[in-house]
Chains A and B, each alone.
Chain A
Amino acid sequence: MEELIRLLKDGKSRTLEMLAMDLGTPIEKVKRDIEFLEHAGIIKKIEFAETCSPGHSCDGCTGCGTGDKACAGCMPEGGFKNMGTMWEVK
């Protein structure tokens, strides 16, 4: 697991498959370690902004400036939903 953390800190990005190949372990174990590190607070899942810019105002948008769900102008509804999952070192 320490080797995994070292790889995460080297500034390069990798897919889970690439991490498994670099570490020479099955992908299930990489997923397990990622899950553990996330729960331990060492890495965090990236949650992309789905709220409008503070102070921004669009017609008919209830989310603007309130921190609620973003309007289509700020984050297209239905867009960027199938972009996979990302984590980063905290």
Chain B
Amino acid sequence: MSDSNETVIALLGQPNSGKSTLFNALTGMKQHVGNWPGKTVEKKEGNFEHNGRKYLVADLPGTYSLSANSDEEMITRDYIASGKADVVCILADSSQLERSLYMLADYAGITVPCFLVLNMSDVAKEQGKSVDAGELEKKLGIPVVSFSAPDTKSYDIFYKTLERAADQKTVLDPKNLEKRYESIDNYDRIRTLIPDNVIPGYSKTWLAAKAVEGDAPVIAKIRAAVSGENAKAFDEAVSATGKGVVVSGQCKFEWIDELLSGTVNKKASSVSLGKFDRLITHHIWGKPVVVLIVILGLIASFIPALPLMGVGQLVAKIPDPLNEAMLSAGCPAFIAALVCDVFLRSVSFIVQMLGFVFGVTLVFGLLEEIGVMARISYVFDNTMARFGLQGKSVMPFLISFGCTMGGAAGTRVIDNWGQKVLTIALAWAVPCGAAWAVIPMLSTLFFGAWMPVIIAVILIVMILHMWITAKVFGGSLVKNTDRYGMIMELPPYHKPKWGALFRYVFGRTKDTFVRALKVVLIVALAFWLLSYTSTGDITASILYKVGHFIEPVTKFFGMGWQTFMAFIASSLGKEGALGVLSTIFTGSGTISVGSVVGGAAAENINELLVANVPKPEALALIFAMTFNMPCIVALAATYQETHSAKWTARIALYYTGVALVIAGIAYRIGLLIW
């Protein structure tokens, strides 16, 4: 590609350092694109002429450093070692020199001529930063140019610097960095054992630093060049370096800081948290504030839910007149009951429930969009430590607020099996999207304006439940030493993208509608068939007989047999409970189809429930459903993620038992209140 008249320039820099912009500006249309030999990494070369001099430009892959962590890094340093480049143009982002000069620091010790381009000087200027390129030149011993690659009018200074570096063959002075390397254990010992010219263009300083860092290809090359006692001494020195990569990196950053001291002026910035961040990270007020936000969010969810609830209640008024009309038109009672009792009453519940799905998704989607959800997850992340979990467990928990199955799938990021199982076990305690639709609706139905209080208590019980569950299962699943800290970069607060938010909300509402329609209709139909008798004598139905048989036990947990059936159905899916409730209740506490077939006037299902389920029993049902097994699909997902039938069964039985215990407690507290 190159001929002897061409000066070959290699562009070296980290990703986003402006390498491609510079390459395109220099070469224009004179580019050749292919792959590096034997690799799928793109190779770009191009030509240009300036002042009658021909140049060939090689755009090396953008890499963080010259370590051997990737194909791109290996290609880059092999190209430099090949001797093809006459001069290396090292790019750094002027707006963040503290980090972007790391490539220059990693280059120090390579003897191929080079110069430094401080790109994006316009961005740095906007940030109030100014860089003294002359002072940097003195410290580095190579030409330094500050300019902005997209500004095509500023290239004269770039060309002059390039010519200077190419003509004078300027080599980066690594002296000050080497002094720092000398403080690293075994660095001097390794350096003295390295023979000359192990890799052309790479000094002993550079090779010794890489050996300290544990760079396998460099160690292998040095090892191949030494023998006898030196080889043994080299192996011992390398194996004794331990955390060499950290210490070496620290040396490079200290060298960068020293370089920038006195050469970069910028406005002093102090680290501080915003008012809201200070509040939610407060060790006393943080959690109460976050819980308050969640409660206010749920109350706010009620507002957009109201119109759909109204529609659902309107649908609930259709079955009675329609049933009468169908019967008077000669329609068989069985068909009329099927349409009115099963289908329409189920649809009524589903539409009311969808209002909450819409509201909850909108409000919490908005909190996420503006950056508040990340803060909430941070606050609860520290709570994870008390559960013996990794900080990242917070994300499966948050996902579980939408879907426990998704939460179980989200635990795949947890490498430790015990922590993964414990995270899933605790995620089951988090009320899922279906619960957030069914529970507020039933709470509003039975307790009216007290709904927010019920929700607040559910959240408190959830945390308590998770804490107890962590104690119960944690001992056998997680060791204290398994816990590591976590760093979070919180997103900045910003305005929501309303279009995207509403697309998400409508999508979730539609998905929930389809799922709920299936679950509720199937469960309602199954329970309706179990309660159906041709004579209208409800006591002859299978459901009644089974229900009365188990009622002495269910009463202990605060539930009559009808609400207990709803609890059982909620194991399949929370919406399933609605199917049961909409099917089996009637004004007299018997079963609706019997009344309808018998010609009795059926009331609105909401009124029927309020009239026939005492408040303590309703409270027991709400808590039992909330903390019951999430759904049958979550059970399957738990098995798929844990690969343990034993732990899946253990968790399922535990949750069923705990839900009944919580229901019993809620019932007795309810008796004290009402």
| A and B physically associate | yes
Tell me the smallest distance from the CB of B454 to a CB of chain A, in Å: 26
A80 touches B487 (CB 8 A): no
Name the A residues within 8 Å of B373 (CB-CB). 80, 82-83
Judge if B472 is at the interface, Cβ distance under 8 Å: no
Tell me the smallest distance from the CB of B51 to a CB of chain A, in Å: 38
A56 touches B382 (CB 8 A): no
A46 touches B365 (CB 8 A): no
Specify which of A51, A78, A85 lies most central, judged by the most chain B CB atoms within 10 Å of its CB. A78
Find residues 267-300 in chain B having any chain A CB closer than 8 Å to their own CB: 269, 271-273, 277, 281
Find residues 48-102 in chain B having any chain A CB closer than 8 Å to their own CB: 64-65, 67, 69, 96, 98-99, 102
Find residues 33-73 in chain A having any chain B CB closer than 8 Å to their own CB: 33-37, 39-43, 46-49, 51-56, 70, 72-73
Tell me the smallest distance from the CB of A1 to a CB of chain B, in Å: 5
Name the A residues within 8 Å of B511 (CB-CB). 72-73
Name the B residues within 8 Å of A29 (CB-CB). 98, 253
Find residues 404-425 in chain B having any chain A CB closer than 8 Å to their own CB: 405-406, 408-413
Task: Name A9's contact: one of B277, B382, B408, B485 (CB within 8 Å).
Answer: B485
Interface size on A, residues (CB 8 A): 63
Residue in A closest to B378 when the chains form the complex, CB atoms? A15
Secondary structure class of chain B's binding surface, majority of residues: helix
Given the known inter-chain contacts A74-B406, A86-B392, please indicate yes or no for A35 contacting B99, CB distance below 8 A.
yes
Q: How large is the interface on B (under 10, 10 to 19, 20 to 34, 35 or more residues)?
A: 35 or more
B368 touches A36 (CB 8 A): no
Judge if B665 is at the interface, Cβ distance under 8 Å: no
Given the known inter-chain contacts A15-B281, A56-B640, please indicate yes or no for A79 contacting B368, CB distance below 8 A.
yes
Tell me the smallest distance from the CB of B499 to a CB of chain A, in Å: 11
Task: Name A79's contact: one of B273, B385, B402 (CB within 8 Å).
Answer: B402
B399 touches A86 (CB 8 A): no
Residue in A closest to B490 when the chains form the complex, CB atoms? A84
Given the known inter-chain contacts A27-B271, A75-B399, A80-B399, please indicate yes or no for A13 contacting B382, CB distance below 8 A.
yes
A13 touches B485 (CB 8 A): yes
Q: A7-B485, A32-B98 are in contact. List 10 more A-B contacts (CB 8 A).
A: A8-B487, A9-B484, A11-B484, A13-B378, A49-B411, A51-B412, A73-B511, A84-B490, A88-B391, A89-B484
Show the binding face of A for B, using Cβ within 8 Å: 1-2, 5, 7-21, 26-29, 31-37, 39-43, 46-49, 51-56, 70, 72-89
